[in-house]
Structure 1
Amino acid sequence: MSLRTHFLSSAMRVCAGMLIMAAVAPHGLSKAYAADASAQSQPEPLPLPPSVPTPQDVPYGGTISLKVNATDLPRHILSMQETIPLPANVVEKGGNFTLLYPMWLPGNHSPTGTIDQLGGLKIQAGGKQIPWVRDTVSVSAFHVQVPKGTHQLEVSYQLLTPVSPKEGRVVMTDVMVNVQWSAVSLYPAGYFTRQIQFKPQVVFPAGWSYGTALRADGAQSGNTITFKPVSFNVLEDSPIFSGKYFRKFDLTQDDKVPVTLNVMADRPEDLAATDEQIKAHRELVHQANLLFGSHHYDHYDFLLALTDKLGGIGLEHHQSSENSGPRGYFTHWDKTFAARDLLAHEFTHSWNGKYRRPADLWAANFNTPQRGSGLWVYEGQTQYWGYVLAARAGLMTAPQVEDALAEVAAVYDGRQGRTWRPLIDTTNDPIISQRAPQSWRSWSRSEDYYSEGQLIWLDVDTLIRKLSDNKKSLNDFASTFFGTHNGSFVTSTYQFDDVVQALNAVQPYDWATFLHQRVYDIRDHAPLDGFMRTGTRLVFTEKPSDYITSYSTLRHVTDFLFSLGFSVGKKGVLAEVLWGSPAWQAGVTRDQELVAVNGQAYDADDLKDVITAAKSKDGAPISLLLRDGDSFHTVSITYHGGLRYPHLDGKMDGLAAILAPVGGQPSAADHKE
């Protein structure tokens, strides 16, 4: 039989069988088959495994030593050795002992722990290896069956950090390392992390310097730094920047509380800061102290990486901050100002976010879920003070901040997603999307509580000033709400009603309704009343502001957002397309490559000329040739609005008063590098 004949015969037999079954049970299965199926039991869910031990607010009873080797630069691997003394009840009886890898990280507002990078986990006791089992529900938990009489565990593992940005944030390069303790630590389950003591140690490449809020315990031994014992809460909150090219600048004020700007760079020439530039950073500390009337640290370390190799970061900590900036941060000072609110933002978090924190963002350990309902205060007001303090310190000029606020107002007033999604719901976005790229960000919204929250607090500030005849302002709220218990860095939590009560203590008003309308209600427009009260309004002109020029240069994008409705990144790739814009109406999407405009190869300046020429009502549509993968297609956009860039127009006196330095002159303390 040929292969073809065999297939045909098989097919005919199958068809015949189906005809027979149909004849026996014309309405479904045969009676015998149906009876057999009815006798089969239905599946039932398996019970979940026992839950990970709930944290208790009791001392752990021993100090865990942790050594990190940060010298394997070519392979981007951090290697750890951890010695964990065991509690008396485990020593006496043995049994299950659970170790946790931190997942819910303060400042990230979501379970972003890099558990996927953990490798080579080995647990030993007395020279013998002990097997471990990962929890199948809480996959960041590792169960260890400890033999009776075991006094301590020797644990070793690696962090297989990204070797390129395609895999995640790069934390190791040939000239710098960022050690984040949350990524390199395992800790015992069943305890509040403030009750677990760690003694950390790090080995750096030879000749490197470092900056951290941790303090060394005695003299340095070669390339190894041993730090004083701290609670796991403090350890996790005290990252390290270490680099080959490193400078430290003293920013300490008259109160003698040490503040240091620690800067590392890809190249030594990038560290060439002028006295005036460092004076502005010193003034940032001065202005923050005047604003809050307190501090909640006994020393503070700014950590700043000037790099295009290390992954970008802006993350707050109680006594330090992790920041990255462009290589020309100092050397191209006049062009990089759009990045200079970052240090002011993260410094503000020492008061707003670390000391005062929304109650649902505080947790007993780093594996307990958090909720972000108060992020419009935590991040929104910090975003506001970041701009204000940058201006007061001289890191940015008042006109630069005004231009930045104009851009914020234009973006969020035009964000179409506000028609269906209230601002409060965006506080869930750190968990929902974890900052993954979005196809239609202007429609889905993202973490809008940052910059729209900033506009809300401008609204609050100007209203307080108006109601009080300029006798009170948001400055008073900052000092009374964030300035309590001067010198303490014990977290003080709050809820919505506490914010309302504090505002009423500054200036009586129906703040509950005011805030509820702006945070919880759907609104067609962004809260722009703050501009109106300062005598300004949002307008558009054909010339980009200096801020947009700086911002676009730093991020390598060209902005056509408020005209055609898109921005263009490197190699002509569309970085964003606004929902409802002319480009959106024509079917343009992000990540397409803009190849040609009106038959000519894409050039940013040429496209600007084309948009300008199309202003005439009888002007021809703008033709765009787009590449989408291997496909090319042409779209036609009818648009006559010309180039449009946001600015503020009117009297700037009101904003100038907000952005002006507070108090007297900068500190006269003697500062030495």
Structure 2
Amino acid sequence: MRLPLCAVLASLVLTVAVPVAPASAASAQVGPLAAPPPSRPVATPLPPALPAPQDVPYPGAIALDVDASATGTGVYRVTETIPVAPGTTTLTLLYPRWLPGNHAPRGPLAELVGLSFTAGDAMLEWTRDPVEPNAFHITLPPATREVVARFVHTSPLRDVEGRISMTRQLLDLQWEKMSLYPAGYYVRQVRVRPSLTLPTGWAAFTALDGARQGSGQAGARLAWSETDYETLVDSPVMAGAFTRRHPLGDGVFLDLVADRPELLNFPAARLEPFAALVREGRALFGGRHFDHYDFLVALSERLGDIGLEHHRSTEIQLEPTALADWAAMDWDRNVLPHEYVHSWNGKFLRPEGLWTPDYQTPMQDRLLWVYEGQTKFWGWVLAARTGIQTRETVLGAIATDAAALVEQPGRAWRSLEDTTYDPVIAARKPKPFPSLARGEDYYSEGALVWLEVDQTLREGTGGKRGLDDFARAFFGQRDGDLGVVTYTRADVIAALQALLPYDWAGFFHDRIDRPGAPSPLAGIERGGYRLVWKDEPNPYDRARMAYSKALLLTHSLGLSLDREGRVAAAVWDGPAMKAGIVPGMQVMAVNGTAYAPDVLTRAIAAARGGTAPLQLQVRRDDTFATIDVAWQGGLRYPWLEPVVVAGDGKAGSAPEPGLDRLLAARTTGGARGK
């Protein structure tokens, strides 16, 4: 280290002023001083744990008032009045952390700002818990009977800040983000009286009961009947300036909010598939567990993406023209049957680890391959049975998921069950090489496992039983029960065993618990189809690429590009990665010609069967390079095609493929698999 000039001069002065005495023999033998022993801190005990939730009533009802009229700023202003029992000296309030349907601790604590607590005219002192930062401890003066909490929830205004929940035309209010609740109680034992102020002229939709309208400072004030906090959190509100409500029958409604009024104009015939979804859902499950149900659907490119299940409703964001441009947007509508199925699978019947008494207790996700995997399976099936999506689009979606898994290197090291931890581990953060890391594959691979279960049941019972029978017996039980029933893996196996004696425990162990599980194609193949490769995209992939302007080359070059030619993903050890292409690069030219999607696809097709590599000119940061990619296999896109089985020459003698039977409508007026 270089010394400062003043220190050097001082050293010289001392050297001149003090004569150096000759060292004695004794002093010459003295070494440096011995170093002290290394410091070793001792752990300090953690502060007392938060009180465990008890299944006893909270004393009194909380008044929760949200002012959402400032849509230009995306601000929700919250006033919450919390009663306290006589003699209480400290109140601990929690901001929900483990959110239902998120399967992870996703409570947006950073968006809670401007927090204060008062009792009468007195400002109360509060501290944040040092271990659980979503817990607030408030010191209460003697004789305090209620505490008023005030804060602001700042909805993101840009995607980079998080999910946008409020625009100038509409909003999607989730009560758990607008409220605190008392620690130490089951949330079903905490009573709440909710109210909401909206801009004048807006309409609101929610599954909450007893709506009443009054005047608000900045707009219309709505209030609902007192309910419990668990039901409140499970009952979001969608509202907007441009809205429309369509009854679908059987107490089910399609509630639409939109960026622009013209997005709500479409032929009445477009509602028939959604009415068919209600009929097919009843036919599939038999019993149901809601007294009324609302599809809360935003037709918006400004609201943040969402598809979130609730017991008596669901929050869904669709692309703006998803209903008006029916054919082109076919790929976008599967979320409706998927979330509807969750009312049975996930909300009423719930894995025991995914039901918690409050929103502080950690969730255990191990059975998400049932909760989400079988729901995705039924989402495919009901989309085809109702016509919400065409049969060809559904087959394309199955092909796309199957192909991604068949060629996924991550399946060799990571089991399907281990992917159920991904919501906590990764929180849906983009990954550099997702094909090796794996993601939330309990959705797609789980669905393919359930397709194999369906075909196993059909084969084992001579076509008399299928997964429909499991759904009716398992998820349709206790018709009219609006509560929650938990289940274990053993319960799932026992229900299947009642339909077909079989080694279901071994079946699931091989497919769920073990890395390098068998190919997920068995259900497709036993259903009379096979995965094949073509040089053009299947209907599902073609429509997605047309809308997003992206280019999917996963099964050829091993990469996907966004609309500007940037590499969004590269397959681990695929041709592109082996050549040195990684996510974040931008393809500027192909064989010397400026990049465009059709330029690249034509070059891949022309190179098929040859020996010359493709030359891609790429940009990474501020450098450019030409990279040779060795790929002569042409364009490869996954499709499902039926395996032709010869009959005896008589009409209808060839057996109908099991997958076709599965996708066929069960009720009059359904799509009948077409």
What's the TM-score bracket when you normalise by the shorter of the two chains?
A: over 0.9
- SS for the counterpart of 1:539 is strand
Distance in 1 between residues matched to 2:13 and 2:529, nearest whole Å: 84
- SS for the counterpart of 1:417 is helix
Partner of residue 626, structure 1: 618
User: Is residue 368 from structure 1 mapped to residue 361 from structure 2 by the alignment?
Assistant: yes
Displacement after TM superposition at 1:553 (Å):
2.9
Partner of residue 98, structure 2: 104
Of the candidates 176, 182, 196, which is equivalent to residue 190 of structure 2?
196
Partner of residue 59, structure 2: 61
Q: Deviations over 1:73-130 (max 9, x none)?
A: 121110000011112xxx22x3221000001001000000010100011100011100
Contact 1:177 1:243 in 2 (8 A): yes
Which stretch of structure 1 is more off in the superposition, 488-497 or 568-577? 568-577
Distance in 2 between residues matched to 1:286 and 1:452, nearest whole Å: 28
Partner of residue 206, structure 2: 212
CA pair 146-564 structure 1, distance change in 2 beyond 3 A? same
Correspondences of 1:378-393 after superposition (within 5 Å):
378-393=371-386
Displacement after TM superposition at 1:215 (Å):
2.1
Distance in 1 between residues matched to 2:12 and 2:480, nearest whole Å: 88
CA pair 383-7 structure 1, distance change in 2 beyond 3 A? same
Partner of residue 642, structure 2: 650
Distance in 2 between residues matched to 1:612 and 1:173, nearest whole Å: 45
Q: Deviations over 1:178-201 (max 9, x none)?
A: 100110010000000000000000
Partner of residue 355, structure 1: 348
Partner of residue 594, structure 1: 587
TM-score, length of structure 2 as denominator length: 0.92
Partner of residue 339, structure 1: 332
Aligned length: 645
Q: Deviations over 1:381-436 (max 9, x none)?
A: 00000010011111012122111111111011111100101010000000001001
- SS for the counterpart of 1:71 is strand
CA pair 27-411 structure 1, distance change in 2 beyond 3 A? farther
Q: Deviations over 1:347-367 (max 9, x none)?
A: 000000000011011111011
User: Is residue 233 from structure 1 mapped to residue 230 from structure 2 by the alignment?
Assistant: yes
Distance in 1 between residues matched to 2:278 and 2:30, nearest whole Å: 82
User: Is residue 436 from structure 1 mapped to residue 429 from structure 2 by the alignment?
Assistant: yes
CA pair 201-30 structure 1, distance change in 2 beyond 3 A? same
Correspondences of 1:453-602 after superposition (within 5 Å):
453-523=446-516, 526-602=519-595
- For structure 2, list consecutive stretches of 5 or more residues without a partner in the other structure: 15-22, 644-655
Of the candidates 426, 442, 459, which is equivalent to residue 449 of structure 1?
442
Q: For residue 403 of structure 1, what is the amino acid of its counterpart?
A: G
Partner of residue 671, structure 1: none
CA pair 127-654 structure 1, distance change in 2 beyond 3 A? same
Partner of residue 142, structure 1: 136
CA pair 386-28 structure 1, distance change in 2 beyond 3 A? farther
Q: Deviations over 1:327-376 (max 9, x none)?
A: 11112110111111101000000000000011011111011101100000
Distance in 1 between residues matched to 2:547 and 2:31, nearest whole Å: 68
CA pair 504-25 structure 1, distance change in 2 beyond 3 A? farther
Displacement after TM superposition at 1:25 (Å):
11
- SS for the counterpart of 2:564 is helix
Displacement after TM superposition at 1:136 (Å):
0.8
Displacement after TM superposition at 1:624 (Å):
1.1
Partner of residue 33, structure 2: 30
- SS for the counterpart of 2:212 is coil
Distance in 1 between residues matched to 2:265 and 2:95, nearest whole Å: 40
CA pair 196-649 structure 1, distance change in 2 beyond 3 A? same
Contact 1:24 1:30 in 2 (8 A): no
Q: Deviations over 1:209-266 (max 9, x none)?
A: 111111234344460000111110000000011111111000113xxxx111011111
Contact 2:387 2:670 in 1 (8 A): no
Partner of residue 670, structure 1: none
Distance in 2 between residues matched to 1:25 and 1:184, nearest whole Å: 75
- SS for the counterpart of 2:308 is strand
Q: Deviations over 1:538-583 (max 9, x none)?
A: 0101011111111223444111111001111131111111112101
Distance in 1 between residues matched to 2:663 and 2:356, nearest whole Å: 35
Distance in 2 between residues matched to 1:26 and 1:431, nearest whole Å: 62
User: Is residue 129 from structure 1 mapped to residue 123 from structure 2 by the alignment?
Assistant: yes
Partner of residue 322, structure 1: 315
Partner of residue 45, structure 2: 47
CA pair 634-10 structure 1, distance change in 2 beyond 3 A? farther
CA pair 114-373 structure 1, distance change in 2 beyond 3 A? same
Partner of residue 245, structure 1: 242
Which stretch of structure 1 is more off in the superposition, 149-158 or 265-274? 265-274
- SS for the counterpart of 1:333 is coil
User: Is residue 660 from structure 1 mapped to residue 664 from structure 2 by the alignment?
Assistant: yes
Partner of residue 17, structure 2: none
Distance in 2 between residues matched to 1:489 and 1:12, nearest whole Å: 89
Distance in 2 between residues matched to 1:280 and 1:385, nearest whole Å: 15
Q: Deviations over 1:487-537 (max 9, x none)?
A: 112110011110000001111111110011100011265321111112211
Q: For residue 95 of structure 1, what is the amino acid of its counterpart?
A: T
Displacement after TM superposition at 1:649 (Å):
2.1
Distance in 1 between residues matched to 2:326 and 2:381, nearest whole Å: 19
Contact 1:216 1:225 in 2 (8 A): no
Contact 1:596 1:625 in 2 (8 A): yes
Displacement after TM superposition at 1:46 (Å):
1.6
Distance in 2 between residues matched to 1:378 and 1:591, nearest whole Å: 34
User: Is residue 165 from structure 1 mapped to residue 159 from structure 2 by the alignment?
Assistant: yes
Contact 1:326 1:554 in 2 (8 A): no
Partner of residue 175, structure 1: 169
Partner of residue 302, structure 1: 295
CA pair 109-462 structure 1, distance change in 2 beyond 3 A? same
Q: Deviations over 1:641-673 (max 9, x none)?
A: 000000112247322110001144469xxxxxx
- SS for the counterpart of 2:317 is strand
- SS for the counterpart of 2:478 is coil
- SS for the counterpart of 1:570 is coil
CA pair 24-427 structure 1, distance change in 2 beyond 3 A? farther
Distance in 1 between residues matched to 2:637 and 2:179, nearest whole Å: 47
- For structure 1, list consecutive stretches of 5 or more residues without a partner in the other structure: 15-19, 668-673
Displacement after TM superposition at 1:616 (Å):
2.8
Which stretch of structure 1 is more off in the superposition, 72-81 or 517-526? 517-526
Q: Deviations over 1:305-340 (max 9, x none)?
A: 111101000000000000011111112110111111
- SS for the counterpart of 1:199 is strand
Q: For residue 234 of structure 2, what is the amino acid of its counterpart?
A: D
Distance in 1 between residues matched to 2:4 and 2:318, nearest whole Å: 69
Displacement after TM superposition at 1:593 (Å):
1.3
Which stretch of structure 1 is more off in the superposition, 125-134 or 42-51? 42-51
Q: For residue 236 of structure 1, what is the amino acid of its counterpart?
A: V
CA RMSD after TM alignment? 2.2
Displacement after TM superposition at 1:443 (Å):
0.4
Contact 1:68 1:81 in 2 (8 A): yes
Distance in 2 between residues matched to 1:325 and 1:245, nearest whole Å: 15
Contact 1:398 1:656 in 2 (8 A): no
